[in-house]
Chains A and B, each alone.
Chain A
């Protein structure tokens, strides 16, 4: 979180540079069933972020050494398209995408009923097409919808949402400037129906009180996105979306 202090991120009236209130999210749009080749898929646009997720499986787990005798393995890949950022990204895995893939897989394994499918594999392919701060959260939101779209039983959906701190003020859903020049970033994966947290990372500087406010904002934001996730799935099976 370099360079904070010298960049102004809040307006004099307390709103943010893009006009949002401190506890207001960027606009979110969700669609289910967008990729014909996949068993389940979802598209999420969150601010200027765009993610598409494909789910394949459950299928036989290859190679065999990755099999688990009592549950399915979630094989999750988070990947940024080369043209998703301001400077082109060289294709292929890097340390950042490997870490995000790992913790995302663990979050999704906490909500999918993996014990239903011993020795099998469920592939979750997260493709970021456009990135503007918060892509791991958008990927999680989309992955949950894609898993549900694939008909895979889950305890709840997961919503990816972040809070952070700019100019000593806790705000919901950091945009790019706030992410680059703010003081803290707290991405979370929230299960809105059960109130559990399945994913959490944090970097920066937060007091206990600020953390509590940030968590409160995340749950509030998650409740709104949860409604959009459910609406996208209902719309899909009302015959509203492609296929």
Chain B
């Protein structure tokens, strides 16, 4: 990227603000931006959600395909989760094959959902050894205003909890609700002005350092973590953000619960 002067000035400004524990948009260190969640908003998707998180706008859509099962799990369905950072989302994104950034985003969201075990894969078997459902979850980023990870994670689980298995359309029985028993939630912290803050916006990401994402399940257990970008953190810092994460995850899970059935 060709804009090195601006991040240097921005970094200085963010460091000055951090000295008095301020953020560039006036939020507290652990404060979240305003968010809005809509579910079931897309006509052709079997499950869908739109998340507006500050200046970030993300859709998630769920489709289903019938596949032959994996040899080692003949009676289990499967999940595929992908994301693309298309040029619609920001002037910094170019057209072309998926970038490492978009692959990381899709895989981190995938792990949080997969490892929580929230989808009952045994319930997605049609004919053991022959036909199972593959759940295909696509993350579609339309506006990158920072913290894509948390917005994508929220859109993903909301779309899954909203999804219906289209058995009738595929002539394999009656439609039924995709069995999703848990609501894993991701929270991301970014080093800005030398200290970690929750829910970095676009400017804070541009002038910040490493990011740490944590996905917590309903019981508070951890299902995925990811440290990305250049920078390091300490065990006490991790302990501190895990406490903050627990609180935000609880609130966000209540938001999802209030929007789906």
Which residues of A line the B interface, CB within 8 A? 34-39, 48, 50, 52, 54, 56-57, 59, 77, 79, 81-88, 91-92, 123, 125, 127, 129-132
A2–B89 alpha-carbon span in the complex (Å)? 37
Q: Count chain A CB atoms within 10 A of each CB in B43, B59, B136, B202 and give the residue with the most.
A: B43
* A81-B87 contact, Cβ under 8 Å, with A35-B143, A48-B43: no
* A125-B86 contact, Cβ under 8 Å, with A37-B55, A83-B45: yes
A77–B65 alpha-carbon span in the complex (Å)? 27
In contact, B87 and A125 (Cβ under 8 angstroms)? yes
A184–B142 alpha-carbon span in the complex (Å)? 34
Given contacts A85-B44, A91-B138, A127-B140, 12 further A-B contacts (CB under 8 A): A34-B57, A37-B55, A37-B91, A37-B202, A50-B42, A54-B88, A79-B86, A84-B44, A91-B84, A123-B91, A125-B87, A129-B59
Q: Which of B122-159 contact A (CB under 8 A)?
A: 136, 138, 140, 142-145
B 64-104 binary contact with A (CB < 8 Å = 1; else 0)? 01000000000000000010101111110001011000000
In contact, A132 and B88 (Cβ under 8 angstroms)? no
A37–B92 alpha-carbon span in the complex (Å)? 10
Interface residues on B, range: 20 to 34
**Interface: B63 (CB within 8 A):** yes
**Interface: B62 (CB within 8 A):** yes
A77–B86 alpha-carbon span in the complex (Å)? 10
A123–B140 alpha-carbon span in the complex (Å)? 18
* A86-B145 contact, Cβ under 8 Å, with A52-B88, A123-B91: no
Distance (whole angstroms) from the CB of B63 to the closest CB of chain A? 4
B 161-198 binary contact with A (CB < 8 Å = 1; else 0)? 00000000100000000000000000000000000000
| In the A-B complex, the 9 residue pairs with the closest CB atoms | A83-B61, A36-B55, A125-B88, A88-B63, A83-B45, A37-B143, A35-B143, A82-B138, A56-B91
**Interface: B213 (CB within 8 A):** no
Distance (whole angstroms) from the CB of B109 to the closest CB of chain A? 15
A87–B138 alpha-carbon span in the complex (Å)? 13
A122–B114 alpha-carbon span in the complex (Å)? 40
Distance (whole angstroms) from the CB of A156 to the closest CB of chain B? 25
* A81-B63 contact, Cβ under 8 Å, with A125-B88, A132-B44: no
**Interface: B48 (CB within 8 A):** yes
Residue of B42, B90, B136, B145 near A88 (CB, 8 A) is B136
Tally inter-chain residue pairs, CB-CB below 8 A. Answer: 96
Distance (whole angstroms) from the CB of B64 to the closest CB of chain A? 8
In contact, B63 and A127 (Cβ under 8 angstroms)? no
A37–B55 alpha-carbon span in the complex (Å)? 7
Closest to A60 in B: B2
Listed A/B pairs (29) with beta-carbon separation below 8 Å: A35-B88, A36-B56, A36-B145, A37-B144, A37-B202, A38-B143, A39-B91, A48-B43, A48-B44, A50-B42, A52-B88, A52-B142, A56-B91, A57-B91, A77-B95, A81-B61, A82-B82, A82-B136, A83-B42, A83-B48, A83-B140, A85-B44, A86-B44, A88-B63, A88-B138, A92-B97, A127-B140, A129-B59, A132-B43
Distance (whole angstroms) from the CB of B157 to the closest CB of chain A? 16
Closest to A125 in B: B88
Closest to B136 in A: A88
Closest to A82 in B: B138
Taking CB atoms, residues of chain B closer than 8 Å to A87 are 63
Taking CB atoms, residues of chain A closer than 8 Å to B140 are 81-83, 127, 129
In contact, B43 and A37 (Cβ under 8 angstroms)? no
In contact, A35 and B142 (Cβ under 8 angstroms)? yes
Closest to A130 in B: B43
Closest to A41 in B: B143
Closest to B146 in A: A37
Distance (whole angstroms) from the CB of B33 to the closest CB of chain A? 11
In contact, A36 and B86 (Cβ under 8 angstroms)? no
Taking CB atoms, residues of chain A closer than 8 Å to B95 are 77
A91–B140 alpha-carbon span in the complex (Å)? 10
A237–B261 alpha-carbon span in the complex (Å)? 37
Taking CB atoms, residues of chain A closer than 8 Å to B84 are 91
Taking CB atoms, residues of chain B closer than 8 Å to A52 are 88, 142
Q: Count chain B CB atoms within 10 A of each CB in A36, A52, A77, A85 and give the residue with the most.
A: A36
In contact, A82 and B63 (Cβ under 8 angstroms)? yes
A132–B62 alpha-carbon span in the complex (Å)? 17
Closest to B91 in A: A56
Taking CB atoms, residues of chain A closer than 8 Å to B90 are 37
Distance (whole angstroms) from the CB of B97 to the closest CB of chain A? 8
In contact, B138 and A127 (Cβ under 8 angstroms)? no
Taking CB atoms, residues of chain B closer than 8 Å to A85 are 44
Distance (whole angstroms) from the CB of A104 to the closest CB of chain B? 14
Q: Which of B22-53 contact A (CB under 8 A)?
A: 42-45, 48
